[in-house]
């Protein structure tokens, strides 16, 4: 089981989406990708759903969101 961590703060759209989508093929069945965002990445969710990944977002504070992505079984 591996955890990949990415910090998207400071990146301009569409860089965060491009980076995350490029990492998805590297995720194994027990791996997860954790990313920090300055705002909720709403446009990313349909791409994750369509590619067979689950996602959970937690708003830690204004300007700080933690997204966890996993491959669906």
Compute the radius of gyration of the chain from its Cα atoms. Answer: 11
pLDDT for the residue numbered 11: 97
pLDDT for the residue numbered 51: 96
Protein fold of 3-71: Translation Initiation Factor IF3 (3.30.110)
Contact call for residues 34 and 68 (beta carbons, < 8 A): yes
pLDDT for the residue numbered 57: 98
pTM recorded for the entire structure: 0.94
pLDDT for the residue numbered 58: 98
Q: Quick: pLDDT tens for 5-60.
A: 999 999 999 999 999 999 999 999 999 999 999 999 999 999 999 999 999 999 99
> Taking the domains of the chain in order of start, what are their residue ranges?
3-71
């Amino acid at each position: 089981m591996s955890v990949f961590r990415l910090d998207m703060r400071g990146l301009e759209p569409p860089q965060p989406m491009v980076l995350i989508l490029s990492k998805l093929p590297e995720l194994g069945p027990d791996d997860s990708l954790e990313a920090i965002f300055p705002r909720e990445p709403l446009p990313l969710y349909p791409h994750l759903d369509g590619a067979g990944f689950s996602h959970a977002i937690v708003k830690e504070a204004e300007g700080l969101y933690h997204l966890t992505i996993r491959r669906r079984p």
